[in-house]
Amino acid sequence: GIMLIQYKDYDFLTFVNFSHYLPKKKTSIFLKNIQFLLFFTGDAFALVYSIDSPESWEEVKTIRELILQLKGSDPSPPPIVVVGNKADLPEERRQVKLEVAECECIDWESGFVECSAKNNKNIINIFSCMLIQARLKGSLNVDSIIGKQ
C-alpha cells in the first residue's frame, strides 16, 4: 500500500501494508490505480522494505523500476530513499543484508536509511535523507523551504 505525505508543494510517498483492510478482489485493482496515480504525480519517494523479508526487498526493486518508467530519468531520476524497517529485530532474524541494500542504493544513486518504526529510531533521518536527495537531484531548493537566502 501507499501513504502520501505532503510538505509544502512536495509529495513524499511511503509504502505501508494496508491491503489486509480491503476486500481481496478489490485490492489489486485499487492498489494498482492508486500506485499509478501517486507514482505519476509524486515528486519524491520513500520505498520501505522489512529487513526480515526478502520479498519486500524485491518489491522495492520492482516499485523503483516502475517509478523510473513513469517518471523517467531525464534529466535525472526523482529523489528516492530506500528504507529498511524493523532495525530493532535481532540480527539472526535479518534476511536482507545491510551491505547488499547499501550497495544497491549506491548503484541506484538513492538514499538509504535503516529504521525502527516500532521504536521511532531514525524516522527523522528518512526525511532528512529525502531532502538531501531532492537537493542533489536539483528538484528542490532547500534554502527556500527553511527560509534561508
- Tens digits of residue pLDDT in 63-77: 888 888 877 766 677
- Chain mean pLDDT for the chain: 75
Q: What pLDDT does residue 105 have?
A: 95
Q: What pLDDT does residue 32 have?
A: 57
| DSSP states along 97-130 | -HHHHHHHHHHHT-EEEE-BTTTTBSHHHHHHHH
149: pLDDT strictly greater than 90: no
33: pLDDT strictly greater than 90: no
Q: What is the mean pLDDT of residues 70-89?
A: 85
Whether the Cβ atoms of residue 13 and residue 45 lie closer than 8 Å to each other: yes
Would you say the pTM of this structure is higher than 0.75?
A: no
Residue 80 CA to residue 15 CA, distance in Å, equals 13
135: pLDDT strictly greater than 70: yes
Q: What is the mean pLDDT of residues 42-55?
A: 89
